[in-house]
Structure 1
Amino acid sequence: MAASAIAFSHHPQAQSTYKIPLLAGDNAYLGDLFSSDKSNPEKPISSGLYRLEKGEPLVYTYKYDEMKIILEGDFTISDETGQKVTATKGDVFFFPKGSTITFTTSGFGLAFYVGQRKESDF
């Protein structure tokens, strides 16, 4: 492995307030905390927070692989095959590229995600 001039990046207080932008409807929010898109365009990786509040389901088809860890609240997560899970704090999910996933919640859910996607892949 080649040595680089900088081993890691530190962004002090980059997320001291969590204002997650609206993604869809009036209850689904998603915002990147960090993306390596510019520093590693061949193998980009993005991470951030996803929040869903009670109301309209979010149906999303992934154009990239992604993993989520549920931080707070709950999600009901289902796919086009009929698989359905009620997810709570500590649950981890892998969503492969091409899967269509439906997210709902009984109140709200908050998750941290990491995906191998470019910022433009929404």
Structure 2
Amino acid sequence: MAVAFKYHAKAQSTFEPPLIANENAFLGDVDSSDSYNPDKPMSAGFYRLEKGTPLVYEYTYDEMKIILEGKFEISDETGQKVTATPGDVFHFPKGTKVTFTTPSYGLAFYTGQRAKGAA
């Protein structure tokens, strides 16, 4: 049985993720496999952070993220700290506690092993 792929034209420039934390952290799933693969769902979307309050987040699932625009300062509880710029790719294993900040703004695309809206 053939299954059609899904297409989200110009999602990087047209999708507006909702505010999820503080006054400056936005995240939204563009698509998810949870409707047809509920046992092993995967969701993907965009994360935008604007200058302001740092976002501290503990991952309850595995996630990978690629920086698309701007700049992030990303640190974890181990003392690791990175200045992230476009093209950088991150893997945040389940259990990782990360702090995100930015001097201006940053936009990233992520894929997480979770159901839609479960971030």
So what's the TM-score if we normalise by structure 2? 0.92
1:76 partner SS: strand
* Cα distance change on mapping 1:77 and 1:5 into 2, 3 Å: same
Q: How is 1:95-114 mapped onto 2 (pairs within 5 angstroms)?
A: 95-114=92-111
Structure 1 vs Structure 2 CA RMSD: 1.5
- For the 8 Å contact 1:63–1:121, the answer to whether it is kept is no
Q: CA deviation at 1:13?
A: 4.1
Residue in 1 that maps onto 2:35:
38
How has the CA–CA distance of structure 1 residues 120 and 51 changed in structure 2, closer, same or farther, with 3 Å as cutoff? Answer: closer
Give, in angstroms, the shift of residue 121 of structure 1: 2.6
Structure exhibiting the larger radius of gyration computed from Cα positions: 1
Moved over 4 A (4+): none
Find the partner of 2:113 among 108, 112, 116: 116
Structure 1: 5+ residue runs without aligned partners?
none
TM-score by length of 1: 0.90
Corresponding letter in the other structure for 1:10 = K
For the residue of structure 2 that corresponds to 1:23, the secondary structure is: strand
Counterpart amino acid of 1:5?
Answer: A
Structure 2 counterpart of 1:10: 6
Q: Give the conservation status (yes or no) of the 8 Å contact 2:28–2:117.
A: no
Note the C-alpha offset of 1:27. Answer: 0.2
Specify every segment of 5 or more residues in structure 2 that has no aligned partner in the other structure, as ranges: none
Q: Is the 1:72–1:89 Cα contact (8 Å) retained in structure 2?
A: yes
